[in-house]
Amino acid sequence: MSGLRQSRTRFSLSLDSDFSFKNPGLELTTIEETSLIAGTKSFGKVVPCFHQRRFYLVFFLFLLIGIEAMASDFQFHVTPEISRKFRHWNESKKEVTGYTTVSYIREKNTDCLIELSKNLGKDRKVFSEKKLWFSPDLSRLIRYEESDLRTDMRTINTYSTDIIHTEAWQKDEKLEFDIQVRHDLVPFEILPHFLQSQIHSLKKDTILKFSLYLPAIATELKNKGMPLSWSKLEMKASIVAMEKLETILGQKETITLQLEATSFLINALLPKDKSRFRFTFMKEAPHHLLVFEEGETKTILDELN
């Protein structure tokens, strides 16, 4: 996921037939309509650098409730010609806590596009890496790899027409399982790409509803012998600001989306900084991600090359 940090826990995805991201069928509902059903439906949530330890609390509550999420179709947007660098800024400490770099290469044998994300600490040393393989025409997600150099953990997800195959290693231990493909879920690792692809269809008075599938949680559930379906979460996104801001590209019109769980109970139990997240994108194409906010941490775009 571009520009977002991740810690020990891992996430991945469920897609449509042959993992095509064309012809999205997302559900757009007015805010008034959604507010009436928010207290009775299930929940979900997610982001380019989330702290997944914080997500774990959300998922733990989700497991206690035992609700299965609903979802809608999706697609993604990739800008392979542009590499990016983000800094992670802690508002309370008033200091930079780390960095994320995102770059792209073409695989020689297959011509697949590989998105490479590296997370760095304050000392600028790499502590984790993530790779996404897209088909040459950028219509399908093929493979995802993540390595955490601190915990010696590695995860690989491969996607076919009917299953997601996950392999996870920590040192000498290996966990392996399959998930049946669904056409209507958004994978955690391409969440920013997904949101970018929907900006043109969002209006001030509508919300976007979708389900998020988190393979890292699926891995934990599999390890504990619990249902993998509990790793699916229902989310909603709405526009909370449309304004001109100073960016590294000068003054630009921007759109800020807020993501949160649709479950009234989850939102009531969790503090806002652990249940609501914000993405700020440039309004004009290609809709660069400018800022991601989670609690006291802001992930801010610093460089475009």
Rounded distance between C-alpha atoms, residue 39 and residue 236, angstroms: 13
pLDDT over threshold 90, residue 89: yes
The model's pLDDT over 226-281, given as tens digits with 9 standing for 90+, comes to: 877 666 778 899 999 999 999 999 999 999 999 987 877 766 766 666 668 899 99
Alpha-carbon span 113 to 134, nearest angstrom: 5
Can you give the pLDDT at residue 107? 94
pTM for this one?
A: 0.72
Q: What is the mean pLDDT of residues 140-167?
A: 87
Residue 143 pLDDT grade (very low, low, confident, very high; cuts 50, 70, 90): very high
**153-174: average pLDDT:** 84
Cα–Cα dist 248/250, whole Å: 6
For residues 293 and 281, the answer to whether their CB atoms sit within 8 Å is no
Q: Which amino acid belongs to residue 34?
A: T
Q: What is the pLDDT of residues 112-128, one digit of tens each?
A: 999 999 999 999 999 99
